[in-house]
Structure 1
């Protein structure tokens, strides 16, 4: 059974959802992407809890974590993860998309409380690099629609391949993604240099690539391997950027055997 809880970490209220794993299982702190409240990853958390003790974070400005007039930079979000990891038992940090960038920055800043990182299709954009392939309108327009109230059918034009249940959950929770927080995080995709963080990261690591997307190209994977020689690389062939929504078993096969 999943249970939600709140803690004060890095000076703000952080909300997480706990999917209890087997006795003595390694802890896993799951950091979702830019507009994915923790509850929308519940179907993944249930499966990951067969191997890990799973805690899914509502990133600040999203879901039930503190929002409002806060710092939404990558550094602030990374400091949240560091503070939470220090309260836990050296978790593996699994981040998807923006969450993977957060994991990289957190582990690069303070690796001691983190056992290892699993980076699921992180945007590799940054200063003087090719832009992140997604457009702002996809995020901004859907959030504005959700703020007014919307249905699963309304969400279909943004997520046409998702099931009705998945679209309904997104329609229910997307309004909790504070517009300004999302805008600042999206802009950070072009200004934050996560490759410099990668060069400092010596923890056990795995990169999971969405084989049906263009977020990470072969040359990007090669560069990451040069920066992080210890990294393992797995591909989920045919899956788009939102990997578990396209191929849940593919994601599980790519991450469940990770050990740190």
Structure 2
């Protein structure tokens, strides 16, 4: 995919380190924030969130070096062919990126789609030694209520972004967001591939998160918005009953987009879940993957 530089994006990219790696048959872009720290977090964003959208979260947690990939078909990561936007595809992308960057000791945080990806990665690749935080994973699926935002709404937002949307138009969908994040979304939403988003949204309805959840272990924690329609009270209760060993933290005054709705609440919960002692230090990243074009 091809990106264009816009004012907010330009500032974010200038303040981060850009890396490209080949993994799982695609070329992936990763932005790294807080590059002068030594405790690593891989943050997996949501369905229409290129890596730049995580900059403000990294800025609020400066003790961690954040590595944020563009998901397949978003930002500057290559798009896959139709039919390859399943959780297994995303999970293998994540595994390949982590291996390519030597981040096997890093904690992993996934938000929304990213939380589903992180969970699938844990199960598919038998990950049990690093902390994994699942932030408001969609609990829709076969026989369950649908994902709250319809696929047509996502596609309409992308089409509007391609035509030239505004922060005010974005605010209609995300009324609680800060202006800067609305402006950023208006700048980069057009870099989300329609097929990628459409097929991924289909997966929210077709792929069963609960069967993945049942297989997760004690290295996983769940953070969810107390007001989130994506993890409603009934779903949270069922998750607790099915896998009681996984701690759950409800973030007050937050819906699905937790860091955007209540950043301080998210940061406190994430720090608590990661524990007072950061995970092992990851050796310095090899220069061969830095700033490749």
Q: TM-score band (shorter)?
A: over 0.9
Asked if the contact 1:82/1:113 (under 8 Å) is kept, the reply is no
CA distance in 2, matches of 1:23, 1:183: 37
Residue in 2 that maps onto 1:128? 143
CA distance in 2, matches of 1:94, 1:245: 15
Instruction: Indicate whether 1:66 and 2:52 are aligned.
Output: no
Give the Å deviation of 1:206: 1.1
Asked if the contact 2:91/2:120 (under 8 Å) is kept, the reply is yes
Q: Report 1:78-157 matches (<5 A).
A: 78-86=91-99, 87-112=102-127, 115-157=130-172
CA distance in 2, matches of 1:175, 1:202: 37
Asked if the contact 1:105/1:197 (under 8 Å) is kept, the reply is yes
CA distance in 2, matches of 1:225, 1:7: 37
Q: Name which structure has the greater RCO, CA cutoff 8 Å, separation 6+.
A: 2
CA distance in 2, matches of 1:22, 1:208: 27
Residues 177-220 of structure 1, C-alpha deviation per residue, up to 9 Å, x if partnerless? 00110000001001001211122222411111111222212332
CA distance in 2, matches of 1:3, 1:216: 34
Q: Report 1:218-229 matches (<5 A).
A: 218-229=233-244
Instruction: Indicate whether 1:47 and 2:60 are aligned.
Output: yes
Among residues 29, 35, 38, which one is paired with 2:51 in the alignment? Answer: 38
Structure 2: tracts of 5 or more residues without a match? 1-14, 280-293
Asked if the contact 1:21/1:49 (under 8 Å) is kept, the reply is no
CA distance in 1, matches of 2:118, 2:155: 24
Determine helix, strand or coil for the equivalent of 1:100. Answer: helix
CA RMSD of aligned residues (A): 1.9
Give the Å deviation of 1:21: 5.9
Residue in 1 that maps onto 2:30? 16
The number of residues matched between the two structures is 258
Among residues 86, 89, 94, which one is paired with 1:76 in the alignment? Answer: 89
TM-score, normalised with respect to structure 2? 0.82
Among residues 7, 16, 20, which one is paired with 1:6 in the alignment? Answer: 20
Residue in 2 that maps onto 1:240? 255
Q: Which ranges of 4 or more aligned residues in structure 1 deviate by more than 6 Å? A: none
Give the Å deviation of 1:23: 4.6
CA distance in 2, matches of 1:22, 1:229: 38
Give the Å deviation of 1:237: 1.1
Determine helix, strand or coil for the equivalent of 1:200. Answer: coil
Give the Å deviation of 1:105: 0.8
Give the Å deviation of 1:250: 0.6
CA distance in 1, matches of 2:247, 2:91: 22
Give the Å deviation of 1:18: 0.6
CA distance in 1, matches of 2:213, 2:227: 24
Residue in 1 that maps onto 2:3? none
